[in-house]
Amino acid sequence: MNFRYPIYFVHRELTKWPELVGGESIDPNNCPERFPAGPDHWTIQTFLYLKRRGDPVHLVDDFVPGQINVVYYDDLLLKARPDRAFIVAIQPDRPRAAACDIRIVQNRLQVRTENDHHVIFWPQPGLRARDPSRKNSLHRLGYLGMGIYLAKPFQDDVFRRRLAELDIELVIREKDWTDCSDLDAILAVRQVSPFDLTIKPASKLINAWRAGCPALLGAEPAYQQIRTSPLDYFEIRSPDDAIAAIRRLRDEPGLMDQMIANGRRRAEEFSVDHIAARWESILGGPVSDAYERWQRESPIFRAIRFVFRSLEHKRQRRRYARLIRT
């Protein structure tokens, strides 16, 4: 896509990416361990994938005044005076960004104004899919993530014993979230506040599809937003629901194969190329349109507006701290 303007991706720790600063490129799938944090996942991957498509994108460590700057929430520093640039803020599961002109959000419930645009989070780089030789076996149920965020009823020894009675092991994989080769199904039920669920992405479902593993997931809006069929995943709220889903996978002929095949088809809708095209449509369309309006504004007006945006940005931080404790 031919952008009307160059796009500058801001990452505050470019010392971690010397080859990119030097003009080289890398494939995230070859080094997934280098993407542990949000700015790496969102900023670096978006830059890399758009650059690969020939888009006029640049990687910088500070705002470029007068230009379109894309920045992850954690790198949106008020002291750096973002009002001197046109700011596209990447809004992850953080307080709502107010010190910006456009927000990229990962959950549709975060779309509140015409300046909010929903984009699916990039799939897990370097994901190793379920070994096809496991066929229809169902013996290992995997949770990929920090154990403290798995809902407490699923951490209980009683749940593990009930799984063991079905000859199933619960595997909690906290460090390597890329390896699904030895898993047969994915469990993901979060121990978070109700507010948190409104800002989380659908990543665990999309990655389960890509991995070839039926998914047992909590009742999260992001999953529900992209669900089109009962074959997409089992929605569970309790260990009883999980046991019932596992029994269905075991007892209903063909169900596991159907869910795996369905997941493979659904995953194609959320490929890197599809997500990159979504980024291009936003940056080349509504972002560029808004940038042209921004260019016609006076610097004094922007500076005054920045004062109010800064106050709101801080207020949103305080609000977020209260909500995630509820």
Render 278-306 in DSSP notation, one character per residue: HHHHHIIIIIHHHHHHHHTS-HHHHHHHH
Over the stretch 222-259, which tens digit does the pLDDT of each residue have? 999 999 999 999 999 999 999 999 999 999 999 999 99
Nearest to 185, CA basis, from 210, 208, 154, 156? 208
Contact 287, 175 (CB under 8 A): no
Chain-wide mean pLDDT for the chain? 95
SS3 42: helix
Confidence grade of residue 326 (pLDDT, cut at 50, 70, 90): low
Residue 189 near residue 151, CB atoms below 8 Å: yes
Give the CA dihedral 21, 22, 23, 26, nearest 10 degrees.
-80
Q: Which domains does the chain have, with CATH numbers?
A: 7-123+271-323 (no CATH), 132-268 (3.40.50.2000)
Tell me the mean pLDDT in the region 121-150. Answer: 94
Q: Rounded to whole angstroms, how far apart are CA atoms 87 and 77?
A: 11
pLDDT average, residue stretch 256-285 = 97
Confidence of residue 1 (pLDDT cuts 50, 70, 90): low
With cut-offs at 50, 70 and 90, classify the pLDDT of residue 86. Answer: very high
Please give the average per-residue pLDDT across 166-186, as a whole number: 95
CA angle 18, 284, 276 (to 5 degrees): 55
Q: What is the pTM of this model?
A: 0.94
Please report which confidence band the pLDDT of residue 175 belongs to, taking 50, 70 and 90 as the band edges.
confident
